Amino acid sequence: MAKVKITETVLRDGHQSLLATRMRLQQMLPQLQALDKIGYKSLEAWGGATFDSCLRFLDEDPWERLDILKNNLKTPIQMLLRGQNILGYSHYPDDVVEAFVAKAAAHGIGVFRIFDALNDVRNLETAINAAKKAKKKEKHSIEVQGCLVYTIGGPHTTDEYVSLATELADLEVDSICIKDMSGILKPYVAEELIRKLKKALPKMPLQLHTHCTGGFGSMTYLKAIEAGVDVIDCALSPLAEGTSQPCTETMIATLEGTKYDTGLDRQALVPIAKYFAEVKKEIIKEFSLRNSFDINPNILDIQIPGGMMSNLIKQLEEQGNSGCYEELLKEIPRVREDVGFPPLVTPSSQIVGTVATNNILCGARYQIVTREFKDLVRGKFGRTPVPIKKEFMKRLGIKAKDIITDRPANHLAPGMKKFREELRLKGFSNPSEEDILSYALFPTVAEEFFRKRTLKKLAEVGVLHPSDQDIAFYNAAPQEAIHFFKNRKK
C-alpha cells in the first residue's frame, strides 16, 4: 500500500462550502509558497463557483487569478469542471468547451476534475478529449480526472458506479474521483465501493471527495483508505468540517505511523492554518456570513451539496425568507424524485433548489417553474437516472416533440464567433479569447465586470470621469487608448 496522498481544498471548496466562495486572491497570496512546500498531491484552487464569484462579487478577473496562482505554485493546480456546463449553469457548444479547456490548460491548470451533474458520460466526452489534447500540447503535466457523482435513493447502487467508472476508463481518463458533494457516503458503503472499483479497474488511481455535512467525513475516509483509495480531499482546519471537507491536519495525524502515513509535516501547517483562521474572520465580517454549520444527519434525505448549503442560507437571509429553510429542506427531495432522482450538484442542485423554493414561497407546487427546470425534464441536460413520468411532463406543458433523447450538445450551434460578435456590438471590438469565454458563461455579470475594469484602468492613467467616447476608445484599443490618455494628461 502506497502512502495516501492529499489534495488540499482550502483555496477552493473549503471557502466555497463555508464562506460562499468569497475568498480573494490577495487573501491567498501570503500563504501560497508555504502551501507549495507541504507536498500535496494537488491544490484545488480554481473552477467550481470561483469563476462566477470572482466576476460577480470580488471584481477579480478569474483568468488573472489563475495566472498569479501558476506563477506562485509548483504543486499542480486543480480545477473542478462541469463537463458540457463548463463553469456555468447550462450546456455550451463543443467549440466553447474546447476553447475553455485549452485556455485553462495554457493558464496553468494541472488537474482537470471533470463531472456531469447527471452522470451522463455523453456530456463528458468533449471536455475529457479537450483536456487530453491539452495534455499533449502543454509543457507542464496535466492529469485528466473523470468523476462519479455520488448520490443515493431511487435506482442508485454501488454497481451502478462501477459500471460508470468502466465507461470513464474507456474514455482513457488518468484517474477517477468519487465526488460525494453532499457528504452522504457512509463509511462501510465507501469501503464496499472502493473495493469493487479496485477489483474492476486495478490500475486506475482512485480519489475520494466528501463533505462532513452528515458527520461521516473522516470515518468515510478511513474506511476508504483501508479499502485502497489513493488520494483524499481535505481542507485546512479553519475551513474544514461542517459542510466542507474533513480536516487536513486531523487526517495526517490519524495516518501517522501507519502503512498509510501521508509523510506530510503536520507542524508545518500550523502557521498556515492560523493565517486562514484570520482570513475566515475577515470574510465572515465583510460579507455578513454564518460562522458555523452544524452536522445534519438528515442530509441523507436532503442531499444538498456543501457548496450550495452556505449560498442557499445566505440567499434566504437576504430575501428575508430564512424562516422557510427547514420546510425547504423537506421539499427539495420531493422535487428531486419528480425529476428522476438526479444527483444534486451544480447545475441540477440549483435547478431543483430554485423550483423547490418557489413551491414553498408560493404555497402551491409548480406554479412557478423555471426554463432550466423544464429543460432538465425534457432532457436538455442529459438523461436522468430514472425516466420522468409522462404525467409530470404534461403538467409542465412539455410535449413529446420537445424531448431530447440524443446527446444534448448535438443541438447547439458553434458559439465562439457568436459571442465574439455580441461583444463587438457592445463596444468591445477586439476582446481576448479569455474575455469571450467569461462572457459566454456569464454574459450580464461579465459585461458589468468589463465595465468596472475599464473604469479602473482609466482611473489609473488619470481619466477619472471618462466620456462615452473615452470608454469606447479603450474597449476598442486598450494600449493605444492608454498611450493617448497619458499624453493628453501631459
Find the Cα–Cα–Cα–Cα dihedral 242, 279, 9, 227, rounded to 10°: -50
User: How does residue 487 score in pLDDT terms, banded at 50, 70 and 90?
Assistant: confident
Helix (H) or strand (E) holding 45: strand 42-47
- The residue written with cell numbers 447547439 in the block is 412
Predicted local confidence at residue 291, as pLDDT: 81
Predicted local confidence at residue 353, as pLDDT: 87
Rounded average pLDDT over 12-18: 96
**Alpha-carbon separation of residue 45 from 225, 242, 304 (angstroms):** 24, 20, 22
Instruction: Give the residue among 269, 204, 212 at the shortest CA–CA distance from 231.
Output: 204
Burial class (CB in 10 A: 0-12, 13-18, 19+), 451: middle
Rounded average pLDDT over 145-157: 93
> Is pLDDT above 90 for 467?
no
461 vs 415: which has the higher pLDDT: 415
- Cis bond leading into 30, ω under 30°? no
Helix (H) or strand (E) holding 81: strand 77-81
SS3 track for 176-205: EEEECCCCCCCHHHHHHHHHHHHHHCCCCC
User: How does residue 191 score in pLDDT terms, banded at 50, 70 and 90?
Assistant: very high
**Cα 168 to chain centroid, rounded:** 19
Residue 418: CB partners within 8 Å, gap ≥ 6? none
322 vs 405: which has the higher pLDDT: 405
Degrees to nearest 5, angle at CA 391 with 385 and 396: 90
296 vs 190: which has the higher pLDDT: 190
Q: Diameter of the chain by CA atoms? A: 73
* Start-to-end Cα distance in the chain: 69
Cα separation, 298 vs 214, in Å, equals 7
> Is pLDDT above 60 for 458?
yes
Predicted local confidence at residue 200, as pLDDT: 98
User: How does residue 364 score in pLDDT terms, banded at 50, 70 and 90?
Assistant: confident
**Using one digit for the tens of pLDDT, what is the confidence trace for 31-46?**
999 999 999 999 999 9
> Is pLDDT above 60 for 2?
yes
User: How does residue 355 score in pLDDT terms, banded at 50, 70 and 90?
Assistant: very high
300 vs 74: which has the higher pLDDT: 74
Predicted local confidence at residue 307, as pLDDT: 57
Mean pLDDT of the chain: 92
**Using one digit for the tens of pLDDT, what is the confidence trace for 44-86?**
999 999 999 999 999 999 999 999 999 999 999 999 999 999 9
Rounded average pLDDT over 7-36: 97
Which range is least confidently modeled, 218-222, 264-268, 389-393, 443-447? 389-393
Predicted local confidence at residue 490, as pLDDT: 58
Predicted local confidence at residue 480, as pLDDT: 83
> Is pLDDT above 90 for 271?
yes
**Using one digit for the tens of pLDDT, what is the confidence trace for 193-228?**
999 999 999 999 999 999 999 999 999 999 999 999
Cα separation, 18 vs 280, in Å, equals 9
Cα separation, 89 vs 313, in Å, equals 20
> Is pLDDT above 90 for 310?
no
Greatest mean pLDDT range, 103-112, 150-159, 351-360: 103-112
Predicted local confidence at residue 474, as pLDDT: 81
- The residue written with cell numbers 498556515 in the block is 272
**Using one digit for the tens of pLDDT, what is the confidence trace for 367-423?**
999 999 999 999 999 999 999 999 999 999 999 899 999 999 999 999 999 999 999
> Is pLDDT above 80 for 309?
no
Rounded average pLDDT over 136-158: 94
Predicted local confidence at residue 319, as pLDDT: 73
Q: Which three cell numbers stand for residue 397?
A: 406543458
Rounded average pLDDT over 353-360: 88
User: How does residue 15 score in pLDDT terms, banded at 50, 70 and 90?
Assistant: very high
> Is pLDDT above 80 for 318?
no
The answer to whether 341 and 335 have CB atoms below 8 angstroms apart is no
Predicted local confidence at residue 311, as pLDDT: 65
User: How does residue 306 score in pLDDT terms, banded at 50, 70 and 90?
Assistant: low
> Is pLDDT above 60 for 292?
yes
- The residue written with cell numbers 450538445 in the block is 409
- The residue written with cell numbers 485546512 in the block is 236
Q: Express as a percent the part of the chain with pLDDT over 70.
A: 97
302-325 CB burial, b ≥16 within 10 A, e <16: bbbbbbbbbbbbbbbeeeeeeeee
Predicted local confidence at residue 290, as pLDDT: 82
Residue 178: CB partners within 8 Å, gap ≥ 6? 147, 148, 150, 161, 185, 190, 193, 194, 197, 206, 207, 208, 209
Q: Which three cell numbers stand for residue 269?
A: 501547517
